[in-house]
Structure 1
Amino acid sequence: MSVIDRIDKYVEKVIESTLEDIVSERFARYSKYIIQDRALPDARDGLKPVQRRILYAMQQMGMLHNKPYKKSARIAGEVMGKYHPHGDSSIYEAMVRLSQDFKMRVPLIDMHGNNGSIDGDSAAAMRYTEARLSRASEALLGDIDKRTVPFVPNFDDEELEPTVLPAKFPNLLVNGATGISAGYATKIPPHNLREVVEATIAYLDNENITIEEITKMIKGPDFPTGGIVQGQSGILSALDKGSGKVVIRAKTEIEEISKSQDRIIVTEIPYEVNKADLVRSIDVLRIDKKIDDILEIRDESDQQGLRIAIDLKKGADAQFILNYLFKSSDLQVAYNYNMVAILNHRPVLVGVLPILKAYVDHQKDVITNRSNYELAKANKRQHIVLGLIKMVSVVEDIIKIIRKSQNKQNAKENIMEAFGFTEVQAEAIVTLQLYRLSNTDILALQQESDNLLAFIKELEHILSSEQALRRVIKRELVEIVNLLGEDRRSEIEAEIDVIKIDQKELISEERVMIGITKEGYIKRASTRSHQASLTIGLKAQDALIFEKELNTLDTLLIFTNLGNYIYLPVFKIDEQKWKDLGIYINNITPIEKNEKIIKVIAVSNFKTDETILLATLHGMMKQAKLQDFEVTRYSKPIKAMKLSDDDQLIHVDMHEKPNILSLSKKGYALRFRTDDLPLYGLQAGGVKSMSLSEGDQVAAALYVNTSDDFVILTSRGHVIKDVVEELPIYNRNRRGILVIDHQKTNPHYAVSGARLSKQQQKENVDVRIVTENGSLMLTVSDLKYSGNKFGKKLFDEEALGKGFIIEVFDAKDDDIELKVTKLPPKKTPNPIETIDLKEEIVTVDDKKIHLNRLDLFDEDDE
């Protein structure tokens, strides 16, 4: 027996269908319901179903604007029991919103009690608050009892409810709407009633009116909270197509506390911004020291109106701080129009013209239906009045007939038979009170008949003339404006004010110590913490590769072996104690697992003619302008040099000199003119600048002067000192000459190099050597040696590991900041400085040999 057969025993009807079909069909019905009957407003009256039901229920309960308030719980119960069978909380929340003057441009409910606040406070429970209709909602409900709109049965078929309200003004544009449904959302801002009515009347006069003409009347949104709306193009796009973007800015002013101290006063905030959250967020900016010049922020709002006071420190730039607050807080927000409404039972994204058309067409139907209702009623009354007037002339005979009749029905029949009255007239006669037979009432009947004739004539004219119908709509719109119209609250500005904040202007300028280690830990400490700390916080076997006192407004360029650089303003580094470990670079900017820091350069000013030299392991080099390294977005590493797959960035130098010195691992030194190396952008890969034999690679590339010395750190912990002037100038892309003698066993390989000027030697500056397991701090005088062609041994590589960086600290009075390349070339009798030399290769016994500057012979690896 199948499952279906077993189920048939207990279930009368089983529908066989796939899950996909069931879910699809049910969800389609659900979506249609929430789109049409829950979340989106009708274009005709601008109301969602729950709002319409609340207003109609209150009108049926007689809760007009001039009647006593009634408990909100009673209203919510009436709405839920008769028209809206959902939660009472959703009904009450809708009531509360309709009553909030900071959400609704024209509130539709007059609520007595706590109905929430602009600070985000929720309303009191419905058992505590009371409510009644406002004048505006009465205008929306006006003439609903004159068969002006269609009614449908409610959920249990016991009551009737309207599908739309008559709406004496275009509520959708005046109060706006927000809502989210399945696949659709709407966001329509409120507008000024006077402007909307003016545009509606203009549309009535000319249905071919252009959107440009409409925008001369509807200037833009008019929020209940005021503020400044920027973006005329966004308003035009929204009014035309239904979507557009504007910016809402708080209304502010700057008060002078004293001659050197100001206060920012906020009197209006953007629409739907929570005031308490706004004040809190600005105070957090002060507490987090993201802006130092705010002394205090206070909410001074009272019954007189909204007021937020922001006291500034003495000497602070009030306008700059205000711009920063616009940029960083909800004092300025973007508002994106999404004007979706139910039009002809369908959700449509529409501009203002289709909304006006839908409203005008609706009003035509309302006025026509009302006129037909009133015409029928007037004709009926006129018929009765004519019968009463006719009765006056035979009143004595009628009285006799009535007295002789058996009952009311018999009296009606006798009167109709004797004088030819209709049944309606006869009914009116027999129910007439005797005092109405006085002379005064007879004159009143005649006057009423004349008035009814004029009224009937007017109604027939309205029903037969399109122009007359339009005049009625205009007249009633003008009456509503006179009753409810208010001046505009929001100001309109044509252009969106683009605010660009230089965060450096927010930073207090001070001197700090910056330390960066080879493992990638970065720390910023005060100079006091640096001086007070006897030791620096480091991981085991880690060492500093950069240590310098800088200004908080300086910027670090941190270069990595993968050809990238990290742009890191000093003020972005969190302050710590010098003995702390620091922040790992990956927590600041994400880098690759195999990415390592090779060089750190501190920059105070990018707007210079400085250049940076970049060199790779395989001998590719380029120069780049320092100003190209300045960026505004720096959340990830930025490309400094394009590398081949197996290449790495090995050395970076700054402060251009006349010559470039390139050192290779196997001890070759190539000196060539700086002008021979072209300038490239950051995305370029550079050019071949040093010819390398198999197994050789570049160890360092330096800017040098002719008068400089240079030092080479070897793989065995030796430092070799040499003279730049003794190196001939070759063309680029040569091997150069040998400066480290080759050994067949345990050779010395160059691992790093540094320039050593005469001033650095004179001042005996510090020298840092970084090794695999630590670092060594020396002075220039410690590098002196004699009688050893492999230099001076400074550390045991078995203890500290192999060295890989040697750094000579700057001299105080060095010419390091000068750019001598822009000067005219000096004439010197030294032929080495004026003639490009080629490498000298001689042949002895059919073997190629290389001539080095020490006149020592060494076999060429080739």
Structure 2
Amino acid sequence: MNKNVDKKLNQFIEEKIQKTRLEDVMSTRFARYSKYIIQDRALPDARDGLKPVQRRILYAMGEMGLAHNKPYKKSARIAGEVMGKYHPHGDSSIYEAMVRMSQDFKMRVPLIDMHGNNGSIDGDSAAAMRYTEARLSKEAEYLLKDIEKRTVPFVPNFDDEEQEPTVLPAKFPNLLVNGAMGISAGYATKIPPHNLREIIDATIALIENPNLTDDEMLAIVKGPDFPTGGIVQGKDGIKQALKTGAGKIIIRSKTAIEEISKSQDRIVITEIPYEVVKADLVRAIDNLRINNNIEDILEIRDETDQEGLRIAIDLKKGADAQFILNYLYKNSDLQIAYNYNMVAILNHRPVQVGVIELLKTYIEHQKEVITNRSNYELDKATKRNHIVDGLIKMTSVVEEVIQVIRKSENKSQSKINIQNRFGFTELQAEAIVMLQLYRLSTTDIQALMDEQQALKKEMDKLNQILSNERILMKTIKNELLEVHAIIGQDRRTVIEDEIEAIKIDHRDLIQDERIMVGITKDGYVKRASLRSFNASKEVGLKENDCLLFEEEINTLDTLLMFTNLGNFIFLPAYKIDEQKWKDLGVYINNIVPVEKNERIIRVFSITDFKSNKKLLLASKQGLMKQVNLSDFEVTRYNKPMRAMKLDKDDELRSVDFEVKENIISLSKEGYVLRFNTEELPIYGLSAGGVKSMSLNDGDELAVAFYAKESDDFYFLTSRGHVIKDTVLELPRYARNRRGVILVERQKTNPHYVVSASRLSRTQVKEDVKVRLLSTKEALVTVVSELKYVANKFGKKMLDDGYYMEIANALGEEVETKPTPKKKAEAIDEKPAKVIEEAIITKENKQIRLSRLDLFDEE
């Protein structure tokens, strides 16, 4: 008994069990496993840029009808559909692939629109699949488009019950647009995402010129375009990668340095490198602070909100922000190296290739897709044309056809009888017996004839695509252009040629909003929201202080504040701390250090420094110069900068904006000089001015401004009187003259000129606002209130005069030519009454001056 069992057992072993070496078994099995994970798991196909699990998810969702404009469905239901029909693996791997395709910080063009928590850039995992919902994105639909038209090959699924595509039609080069990462046996891939518009432009260029060079390709595809933005540095690495599929680049965060106070800065990070987890980055930088690797970091905060990513690193006072930033680039993931390894499946083999080879593979794929689609549509159109042709022929024998059908016993006999009697094919006979009677009307017969014409045109078009290579390529190009126009997006990543080059405009970080800014004559600066301004009944001021500047501006505007010492303060509006309008504000010395005797004399709000505008600067001693506005734009502004070089006993008295053809200057004692603006040279900031108004001993320049010949002007006296005059009535002299006298001198308590402002016809028409300042208070009125009075010293408005400014017109100033007064006939002419004054010169000679006299410099 035992012998028989042993014999049978040995016989079974000899028949069923193979004897082979272990290393041969391992080699064979591992080769099969490697082939599987290389081709069917970890590496993307070069044609549609998808791994098998991604392709199966998208196809399944397409079959479920989850278009971008249809309702969401539970992610668990989608994962179950994919797992049950196409992907016999764990549901977690399917769901993780779904989540990644929906994350806009991982995918340059997300392929799934997920509703709910789908993870975050902080490394948070998505909510469980039972909570989230999903549907296809609009971009994913372009990958699936025309799949129902037999455009791509299908194979049986794992249990032979379903069919699944081996590749998607892919109406754009998804592999380069979304990139890929994967590790398999002996192979890995790392392809960065690129800009869809650039990749489509490159594909079209390759269609038009198959011999496109690498340099020509690099001119179109600038480099990677990461969904997280950032700065890519190293053009040579990009060029090498585009050519060979391997290269190295540097990805640097977008950063800016903000000033907390005059001696304290803050580093702000607004974009981080691709695939860097933000929470880990913040933790790593904070560990550098805790471990005292770098002592100048005060605090690091993650201030990310719905407005966007923001990491703030507050530095200690006096810290070198640029040095700390360079340290963080070197010792944290604020800057990382990215190594291209562009490996994809081409012709069932893993190959490392450059961009041109990938795009050529994609173009060949599209040629197959369009050809297969055209064959499908041609076959469909041919069948329909055959049916329509039969229906049209039937209309000529419709009565006989009806008789034949009525005499037939059933549908199948009707079809046979019609075929035998009239010669219709089986397909035509089927259409005839299924035809509804109302379709036999004249209208529907015409519709059939119109349809036949349209079918013939379509068939001709499809035949041309199938027979003409040039038309086929043109069709691919047109479809790419359609995708370019509909789903193309602007580039997010900045490309820098050199690794050390970094150009960041910190103004891009500032929220664009309207604010109210006020600056007092004593140097207090305040910024308030429009809500606070409108809610405040009165402005907060120190005793005997008043607003020199009050204007609604933009946070991105810059204030230019000129001081009596010939300096200017460059102050971006967003740098001013926001307060309530009823607060006193911040003293200028707490923002920018100024001298004890330095005070603000004029303020301008500038939106654009690139314009060709100029400023007029005039000093107490009569020196003037023009300066280009662009010269005042600076990058470092932590202290006052020189606007005009002055002598020790001189000071800046007046600054004006917006060039006009005349310059009007008034002296303290009431002299006025008008000369052509062209006579005054344009100098830089470090230069002094040229002598532009000759002054008597003891006299000094009070104000100078631009004016048109058609303008009037008002000037304010030390006794608070406002006097009006006209530019046209002033004689035009050469520069460096004394001019004529406007104000009659009084021996006791004389009127001295302290300020002036031009007045155009448009300003009069708009009745613009006028700001009058005394040494203790401000009066805000309008032009119409400065009515002319008979008093030769004008209208009294204040107790004493300090400064006046007439607001600019809101509308465009219309050019009007002044009309000179007509001369009366000789018999009626009377000598004009002229204001004149006797002056005793050093030589004890008495001379008389009037506004009609011309005086050269003595």
Does TM, normalized by the shorter one, top 0.5? Answer: yes
Q: Which residue does 1:175 correspond to in 2?
A: 178
Question: Are positions 1:147 and 2:150 aligned together?
Answer: yes
CA distance in 2, matches of 1:483, 1:11: 68
Q: Which residue does 1:292 correspond to in 2?
A: 295
Map 1:525-604 to 2 at 5 A.
none
SS in 1 for 2:307: coil
CA distance in 2, matches of 1:434, 1:135: 42
Unaligned runs of 5+ in 1: 500-862
Q: Which residue does 1:341 correspond to in 2?
A: 344
SS in 2 for 1:310: strand
Question: Are positions 1:394 and 2:402 aligned together?
Answer: no
Quote the offset at 1:439 in angstroms: 2.2
> Letter of the aligned partner of 1:318 in structure 2?
A
Quote the offset at 1:418 in angstroms: 2.1
CA distance in 1, matches of 2:30, 2:434: 60
CA deviations on 1:499-544 (whole Å, 9 max, x unpaired) are: 9xxxxxxxxxxxxxxxxxxxxxxxxxxxxxxxxxxxxxxxxxxxxx
Question: Are positions 1:110 and 2:90 aligned together?
Answer: no
Paired residue for 1:374, among 363, 374, 377?
A: 377
Q: Which residue does 1:484 correspond to in 2?
A: 487
Q: Which residue does 1:48 correspond to in 2?
A: 51
Gap change, CA 1:149 and 1:260, over 3 Å in 2: same
Gap change, CA 1:15 and 1:497, over 3 Å in 2: same
CA distance in 1, matches of 2:6, 2:458: 74
Aligned residues: percent identity? 73
Paired residue for 1:433, among 431, 436, 445?
A: 436
Unaligned runs of 5+ in 2: 503-858
CA distance in 2, matches of 1:306, 1:121: 15
CA distance in 1, matches of 2:14, 2:56: 39
Paired residue for 1:384, among 384, 387, 407?
A: 387
> Letter of the aligned partner of 1:119 in structure 2?
D
Paired residue for 2:425, among 418, 422, 426?
A: 422
CA distance in 2, matches of 1:440, 1:327: 79
CA distance in 2, matches of 1:233, 1:195: 19
Quote the offset at 1:238 in angstroms: 0.4
Paired residue for 1:272, among 268, 275, 293?
A: 275
CA distance in 1, matches of 2:103, 2:89: 22
Question: Are positions 1:319 and 2:322 aligned together?
Answer: yes
1:294–1:313 Cα contact (<8 Å) kept? yes
Q: Which residue does 2:310 correspond to in 1?
A: 307
> Letter of the aligned partner of 2:113 in structure 1?
D
Gap change, CA 1:7 and 1:284, over 3 Å in 2: farther
Q: Which residue does 1:199 correspond to in 2?
A: 202
Q: Which residue does 1:859 correspond to in 2?
A: none
Range that drifts further, 191-200 or 414-423: 414-423
Quote the offset at 1:26 in angstroms: 0.4
CA distance in 1, matches of 2:158, 2:288: 53
> Letter of the aligned partner of 2:216 in structure 1?
E
Question: For this pair of structures, how many residues does the alignment match?
Answer: 499
Quote the offset at 1:206 in angstroms: 1.0
Range that drifts further, 17-26 or 187-196: 17-26
CA distance in 2, matches of 1:40, 1:324: 37
> Letter of the aligned partner of 1:170 in structure 2?
P
> Letter of the aligned partner of 1:362 in structure 2?
H
Gap change, CA 1:442 and 1:122, over 3 Å in 2: same
Paired residue for 1:256, among 254, 259, 275?
A: 259
Paired residue for 1:213, among 205, 212, 216?
A: 216
CA distance in 2, matches of 1:244, 1:233: 8
1:39–1:180 Cα contact (<8 Å) kept? yes
Q: Which residue does 1:281 correspond to in 2?
A: 284
Q: Which residue does 1:39 correspond to in 2?
A: 42
1:300–1:307 Cα contact (<8 Å) kept? yes
Paired residue for 2:354, among 340, 351, 366?
A: 351
Look at both structures and tell me which one has the larger radius of gyration over its CA atoms: 1
CA distance in 2, matches of 1:4, 1:282: 74
CA distance in 1, matches of 2:78, 2:14: 42
1:40–1:180 Cα contact (<8 Å) kept? yes
> Letter of the aligned partner of 1:458 in structure 2?
K
CA deviations on 1:107-152 (whole Å, 9 max, x unpaired) are: 0111111111000000111111111111111110111111111111
> Letter of the aligned partner of 2:303 in structure 1?
E
Paired residue for 2:87, among 84, 87, 90?
A: 84
Quote the offset at 1:8 in angstroms: 4.3
CA distance in 2, matches of 1:13, 1:286: 68
Map 1:589-668 to 2 at 5 A.
none
CA distance in 1, matches of 2:292, 2:491: 38
CA distance in 2, matches of 1:4, 1:107: 66
Map 1:680-719 to 2 at 5 A.
none
> Letter of the aligned partner of 1:86 in structure 2?
H
SS in 1 for 2:248: strand
Question: Are positions 1:19 and 2:47 aligned together?
Answer: no
CA distance in 2, matches of 1:441, 1:344: 51
Quote the offset at 1:38 in angstroms: 0.5
SS in 2 for 1:276: helix
Question: Are positions 1:238 and 2:241 aligned together?
Answer: yes
Question: Are positions 1:97 and 2:100 aligned together?
Answer: yes
CA distance in 1, matches of 2:11, 2:163: 40
Range that drifts further, 206-215 or 389-398: 389-398
Q: Which residue does 2:470 correspond to in 1?
A: 467
CA distance in 1, matches of 2:428, 2:97: 49
CA distance in 2, matches of 1:427, 1:492: 64
> Letter of the aligned partner of 2:365 in structure 1?
H
CA deviations on 1:651-690 (whole Å, 9 max, x unpaired) are: xxxxxxxxxxxxxxxxxxxxxxxxxxxxxxxxxxxxxxxx
1:8–1:14 Cα contact (<8 Å) kept? no
SS in 1 for 2:16: coil
- Misfit runs of 4+, over 2 Å: 1-12
Gap change, CA 1:488 and 1:23, over 3 Å in 2: same
Quote the offset at 1:319 in angstroms: 1.3
CA distance in 2, matches of 1:317, 1:163: 57
SS in 2 for 1:47: coil
Quote the offset at 1:248 in angstroms: 0.3
Gap change, CA 1:5 and 1:332, over 3 Å in 2: farther
CA distance in 2, matches of 1:374, 1:164: 20
Q: TM-score, normalised by structure 1?
A: 0.57
> Letter of the aligned partner of 2:239 in structure 1?
L
CA distance in 2, matches of 1:75, 1:377: 32
CA distance in 1, matches of 2:324, 2:83: 51
> Letter of the aligned partner of 2:377 in structure 1?
E
CA distance in 2, matches of 1:287, 1:18: 58
Q: TM-score, normalised by structure 2?
A: 0.57
Quote the offset at 1:498 in angstroms: 8.9
1:140–1:165 Cα contact (<8 Å) kept? yes
CA distance in 1, matches of 2:90, 2:70: 27
1:371–1:462 Cα contact (<8 Å) kept? yes
Quote the offset at 1:417 in angstroms: 2.0
CA distance in 1, matches of 2:7, 2:130: 52
Gap change, CA 1:137 and 1:498, over 3 Å in 2: closer
> Letter of the aligned partner of 2:417 in structure 1?
N
Gap change, CA 1:426 and 1:212, over 3 Å in 2: same
Quote the offset at 1:438 in angstroms: 2.0
Quote the offset at 1:304 in angstroms: 1.2
CA distance in 2, matches of 1:3, 1:53: 52
